[in-house]
């Protein structure tokens, strides 16, 4: 039924197909006493006998198993991300809003010269929010979010990578508006060398074919977001395809403060804003992901202070709040993951090839 499910853009459509009578109740207010009927029931029912027909012409030549894989492993159905969930990066956020979010929302006025780029590149150190931005763009545009790492095409889908690329673009086309997020895109767009595996070469070729063929129609609402922490590996042809190239740097002190505040919001803690600001100032060079590790490490402090004999039985209300000292200890254990050397490279590449907006 997974194959069937993907053909429906929304739970509502799936419900209508499995139970046409439901149409009458959609949109009308349900009485307080009425029994709640999950709109997903029909779609999730494994025993479902009526298999809705696959009608979309564009998927006729695609292996249904691939479609199923894309549905289960590549379409991301996680909680929607909002701009406020991403700390700092004001410039990147504003630029992306104008260059891609509005055009996806209003394709009718972003035509001609205003036509959005087909693909954008987010580059910068690992763990700085590139994936978050991709997810956020998708959520803001009410778009389906396809997320794949380039290395999984050559490793996980071994032998099927090429077919996977084709299927991915075909399915995305049926799910517009769609955002295809490709992590480690450098490995798909680098110069094809003589030493690499034949299968890898075919994947790269197929990707270029699909990239160039994607979003060519006026009506298409498809955006490819490539992310990389090795932008210097991209060749000229790759840069030409990803016209908009945006640096996603490490968070500044203000952003780090926001990340700590957000993460602590759901934890019992007794840190004051001054404490948080102090920690933010002590974490120069930490990425967003490093900040998350730091907070997780600090959050273990109260647990480690529980005597071993009580850990299984202790009342959760008796676990003490996370405090400043937990962070001081955590700072010893969690160190920044990005080297100064690497940072210099990003800044340099940004000065030469960045922006393009
Ligand atoms: P990458 O740049 O490698 O794609 P991610 O977007 O996957 O990094 O970030 C990894 C994690 O680090 C996120 O899930 C989030 O918890 C945290 N993080 C990174 N950057 C930020 C940010 N700017 N604001 C808030 N959290 C962040």
**Choice from 129, 179, 346 to test ligand 1 binding pocket (greatest atom count within 8 A of CB):** 129
d(CA 334, CA 323): 17
Q: What is the residue with the minimal CA distance to atom 6 of ligand 1? A: 129
ipTM associated with this complex:
0.98
d(CA 87, CA 90): 8
d(CA 149, CA 283): 29
Tokens of 262: 């957000």
Q: What is the residue with the minimal CA distance to atom 5 of ligand 1? A: 129
Determine contact, residues 280/260, Cβ cutoff 8 Å: yes
d(CA 182, CA 146): 8
Give 322's DSSP letter: B
Tell me the CA end-to-end span of the chain in Å, nearest whole number: 43
Ligand 1 neighbours, Cβ below 6 Å, are: 86-89, 126-132, 227, 251, 255, 259, 288-289, 292
CA of 85 to the centre of ligand 1 (A): 10
Vertex 27, ends 21 and 32: CA angle to 5°?
95
d(CA 220, CA 243): 18
CA of 129 to the centre of ligand 1 (A): 4
- Alpha carbon 321 to its chain centroid, in Å, reads 32
Task: Strand 144-149: give its sheet, edge to edge.
Answer: 144-149, 178-183, 222-228, 119-123, 244-247
According to the model, what pLDDT value does residue 78 have? 80
Q: Hey, is 131 helix, strand or coil?
A: helix
d(CA 293, CA 155): 28
Vertex 210, ends 66 and 220: CA angle to 5°?
95
**Choice from 82, 121, 127, 264 to test ligand 1 binding pocket (greatest atom count within 8 A of CB):** 127
**Choice from 125, 132, 231, 334 to test ligand 1 binding pocket (greatest atom count within 8 A of CB):** 132
Chunked into runs of 10 residues, the chain (357 residues) has average pLDDT values of 42 42 38 48 45 63 82 83 93 91 89 88 96 93 91 77 89 91 89 72 88 82 93 88 93 97 95 96 97 97 91 89 96 95 93 78
Instruction: Kindly report the pTM of this predicted structure.
Output: 0.81
Determine contact, residues 42/15, Cβ cutoff 8 Å: yes
Burial 265-275 (b: 16+ CB within 10 A, else e): eeeebebeeeb
Q: What is the residue with the minimal CA distance to atom 8 of ligand 1? A: 127
**Which residues, at least 6 apart from 160, have a Cβ–Cβ distance to it below 8 Å?**
66
CA of 241 to the centre of ligand 1 (A): 25
According to the model, what pLDDT value does residue 10 have? 42
């Amino acid at each position: 039924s997974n194959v069937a499910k993907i053909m429906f853009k929304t739970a509502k459509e799936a419900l209508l197909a499995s139970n046409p009578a439901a149409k009458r109740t959609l949109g009308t207010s349900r009485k307080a006493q009425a029994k709640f009927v999950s709109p997903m029931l029909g779609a999730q029912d494994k025993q479902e006998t009526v298999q809705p027909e696959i009608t979309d012409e564009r998927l006729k030549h695609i292996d249904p198993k691939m479609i199923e894989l894309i549905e289960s492993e590549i379409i991301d159905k996680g909680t929607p991300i909002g701009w406020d969930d991403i700390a700092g990066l004001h410039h990147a956020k504003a630029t992306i809003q104008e260059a891609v979010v509005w055009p996806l929302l209003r394709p009718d006025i972003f035509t001609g010269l205003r036509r959005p780029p087909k693909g954008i590149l987010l580059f910068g150190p690992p763990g700085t929010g590139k994936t978050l931005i991709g997810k956020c763009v998708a959520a803001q545009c009410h778009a389906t979010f396809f997320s794949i790492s380039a290395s999984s095409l050559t490793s996980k889908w071994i032998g099927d990578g090429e077919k996977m690329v084709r299927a991915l673009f075909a399915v995305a086309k049926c799910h517009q508006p769609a955002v295809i997020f490709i992590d480690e895109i450098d490995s798909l767009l680098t110069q094809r060398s003589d030493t690499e595996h034949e299968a890898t070469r075919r994947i790269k070729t197929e990707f270029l074919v699909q990239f160039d063929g994607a979003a060519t129609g006026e009506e298409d609402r498809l955006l490819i977001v490539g992310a990389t922490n090795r932008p210097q590996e991209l060749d000229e042809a790759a840069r030409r395809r990803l016209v908009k190239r945006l640096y996603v740097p490490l968070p500044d002190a203000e952003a780090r403060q926001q990340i700590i505040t957000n993460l602590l919001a759901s934890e019992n803690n007794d840190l004051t804003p001054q404490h948080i600001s102090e920690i933010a100032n002590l974490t120069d060079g930490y990425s967003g992901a490093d900040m998350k590790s730091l907070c997780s490490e600090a959050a273990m402090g109260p647990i480690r202070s529980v005597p071993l004999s009580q850990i299984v039985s202790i009342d959760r209300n008796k676990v003490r709040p996370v405090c400043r000292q937990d962070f001081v200890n955590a700072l010893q254990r969690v160190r920044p993951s990005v080297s100064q050397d690497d940072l210099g490279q990003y800044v340099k590449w940004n000065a030469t090839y960045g922006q393009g907006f």
